[in-house]
Structure 1
Amino acid sequence: MTTDDDFAIFAQQMQGVRRIHVDQADTGKKRTNSKLLSGRRANAVETVTELKVDGLSDQFVLDVGPEDFLLWQSNGVQDSQLRRLKAGQIPFDGSIDLHGMSVEEARSELWEFLAEAVRLEVRCVRVTHGKSNRPDGRKPILKSHANTWLRQHDRVLAFSSCLPKHGGTGALYVLLRRTMLEGRDEPVF
């Protein structure tokens, strides 16, 4: 039973308190910013107008393991040339290290490196991509991309994982197609 004294005490205690007109509880959850959300949705469906035309596609990347030995040759490359490349008997005249780069950075650097090697008529180069031995078992990203990209490049004749002294399965010897410069007697593959 409540008495008038109880109401008086309650009214005295409630002096200065404002009535809350919101009937929703604050759950502590962040409120969504509708402008930001609509902007993100618009960006998600927007088509990219800048298209990098370098011939190296990421549409289908062949996943390879950290210790997988990579070996590939294009049509017309003699098996004896591939054996020499695999054995490290063709000296490489240039090298690039893709460690620590993002996929896009590695792609751009590799494209520029190969273009420079072709321009200088280099026969063989080394591409170090790393193995990325991960405890969670994920595949090495740069190794998989390099394997895919080099198969697409029109100046790459063949590639093979290196000997252990040159990086083992964390690097590749890459045999490049050369054009004949004046005074050369070598055949073009």
Structure 2
Amino acid sequence: MSQDNVEPDDENLFRQAIKGVKPLKQQQADTGKPKADRARIAASRARALTGNTSIVIDGLSDQFVIDVAPEEELMWGANGVQASQLRKLKSAQIPFDDSIDLHGMTVERARELLWAFLAEAVKQEIRCVRVTHGKAQRKDGRTPILKSHVNTWLRQHASVLAFTSCIPRHGGTGSVYVLLKRTMLEGRED
């Protein structure tokens, strides 16, 4: 409708309806939402980028790490693992078919590689592997970080039946033999 077609009564009614109304000073409508707290948003984004290191989707958690001494011998077996199996593992009577060395890696990198290594070993139906974590004898007297994490992670992994420190020629207390579950592929005779 153009202004030429506006009836005088309509124009008077309109002016009466808007009497006392002040023109807007801004061109944007107020949606009623509170202004964004830019500092809080920036902090939230920074936390998202660094990630939450206490719980990891791969299942290897750092929420509670069992501290171990540099020369401490490690030995653990899941429920149902016989003591005779642990003794055989400890004395290297169960040969390991693959090995990974985590020396000098960050905790995050070691976790990624260990998870991938164990997944591949299970996929290939390997019964026993060796994981070298090192002893990290620290001058400040603190516990070895990587050894403590590996000790904790292996206890959490669903495919790990048992682990124990190696004999000296295979790394001693700086390495562990890891006994893995096997699903026994179809047609396999052993």
Q: What TM-score do the two structures reach when normalised by structure 1?
A: 0.73
Matching of residues 1-189 of structure 1 within 5 Å: 42-43=43-44, 46=47, 48=51, 52-186=56-190
Distance change in 2, residues 1:141/1:183 (3 Å)? same
Question: 1:71, 1:77 → 2: CA distance?
Answer: 12
Question: How far 1:183 moved relative to its partner?
Answer: 2.7
Q: Distance in 2 between matches of 1:168 and 1:40?
A: 49
Q: Secondary structure at the match of 2:163?
A: strand
Tell me how far 1:182 sits from its aligned partner: 2.0
Aligned residues: 149
SS in structure 1 of the partner of residue 108 of structure 2: helix
CA distance in 2, matches of 1:68, 1:41: 44
Per-residue Cα deviation, 1:101-132 (whole angstroms, up to 9, x for no partner): 10000000000000000000000000000000
For residues 99 and 41 of structure 2, what CA distance do their matches in structure 1 show? 41
Amino acid at match of 1:42: A
Q: Which amino acid aligns with 1:112?
A: A
Structure 2 residues not aligned, in runs of 5+: 1-38
1:46, distance to aligned residue in structure 2 (A): 4.4
Q: TM-score, normalised by structure 2?
A: 0.73
Give the Cα–Cα distance (whole angstroms) in 1 for the partners of residues 128 and 106 of structure 2: 25
Whole-Å separation in 1 of the counterparts to 2:79 and 2:170: 26
**Unpaired segments of 5 or more residues in structure 1?**
1-37
RMSD: 2.3
Residue number in structure 1 paired with 2:21 = none
